[in-house]
Chains A and B, each alone.
Chain A
Amino acid sequence: MPQEFRLILKNIDQSGFTNDLACYLRHGGYVALKQALDLQPKSLPDGKVQTGPEQIREEVKASGLRGRGGAGFSAGLKWSFVDRRSGKPIYLICNADESEPGTFKDRQILHKDPHQLIEGMVISCYANDVKLAYIYVRGEFPEGARILKRALEEARANGYLGKNILGSGFDLDIFIHRGAGAYICGEETGLIESLEGKRAYPRIKPPYFPAILGLYMCPTIVNNVETLCHVRHVITMGASAYAKLGTPNNTGTRIVSLSGHVKRPGYYEIEVGKVTLGELIHAPNFGGGLREGRSLKAIIPGGSSSKIFRAGEIFKLKRKGADGLVTNVDVDLLDIPYDFDSLQAAGSMSGSSAIIVMDDSTDMVKALANLSEFYAHESCGQCTPCREGSLWMSKALHRMTHGGARKQDADYLHKTATNIQGRTICAFGEACAWPVISFVNKFRDEFEARGVEDEVRAASQTGGGVPPI
Chain B
Amino acid sequence: MSDPREFSSAVQPMVNPLASSPQFHVSAELEAEVQELISHYPEKRSAVLMVLHEVQERFGFISQESVMWISGKLDLQPINVLELVTFYPMFRQQPVGKYQVKICRTLSCALGGAYELHEHVCNRLGLDAHAHGIQTSKDKMFSVEFVECLASCGTAPAMMVNEDFQEGVTTQNADLMIHECRKKGN
Contacts from A to B (Cβ < 8 Å):
98-104, 106-107, 132, 138-143, 175, 177-183, 194-200, 216, 257-261, 265-267, 300, 304, 354, 356, 358, 362, 367, 370-371, 373-374, 377-378, 380
Cβ–Cβ contact A374 & B149, under 8 A? yes
Cβ–Cβ contact A178 & B107, under 8 A? no
Contacts of B52 in A (CB 8 A): 180
Cβ–Cβ contact B43 & A216, under 8 A? yes
Contacts of B71-88 to chain A: CB distance below 8 A: 74, 76, 80, 83-84, 87-88
B176 at the A interface (CB under 8 A): no
B110 at the A interface (CB under 8 A): yes
Q: List 6 A-B contacts (CB under 8 A).
A: A99-B149, A102-B149, A177-B50, A267-B154, A356-B108, A362-B111
Contacts of B183 in A (CB 8 A): none
B22 at the A interface (CB under 8 A): no
| Distance between Cα atoms of A171 and B160 in the complex (Å) | 38
| Distance between Cα atoms of A139 and B165 in the complex (Å) | 13
Per the CB 8 Å criterion, the residue count for chain B at the interface is 43
Q: Are A194 and B49 CB-contacts (below 8 A) given A98-B151, A107-B151, A182-B87?
A: yes
Contacts of A179 in B (CB 8 A): 49, 88
Distance of B171 from chain A, by nearest CB (Å): 19
| Distance between Cα atoms of A199 and B86 in the complex (Å) | 9
Fill in one digit per residue for B20-55: 1 if any A CB lies within 8 Å of its CB, else 0: 000000000000000000001111011111101100
Cβ–Cβ contact A107 & B107, under 8 A? no
Contacts of A356 in B (CB 8 A): 107-108, 111, 153
| Distance between Cα atoms of A143 and B48 in the complex (Å) | 20
Contacts of B106-134 to chain A: CB distance below 8 A: 106-108, 110-112
| Distance between Cα atoms of A304 and B110 in the complex (Å) | 13
| Distance between Cα atoms of A233 and B67 in the complex (Å) | 45
The answer, among B91, B102, B153, for a CB contact under 8 Å with A101, is B153
Contacts of A183 in B (CB 8 A): 148-149
Distance of A157 from chain B, by nearest CB (Å): 17
| Distance between Cα atoms of A139 and B49 in the complex (Å) | 10
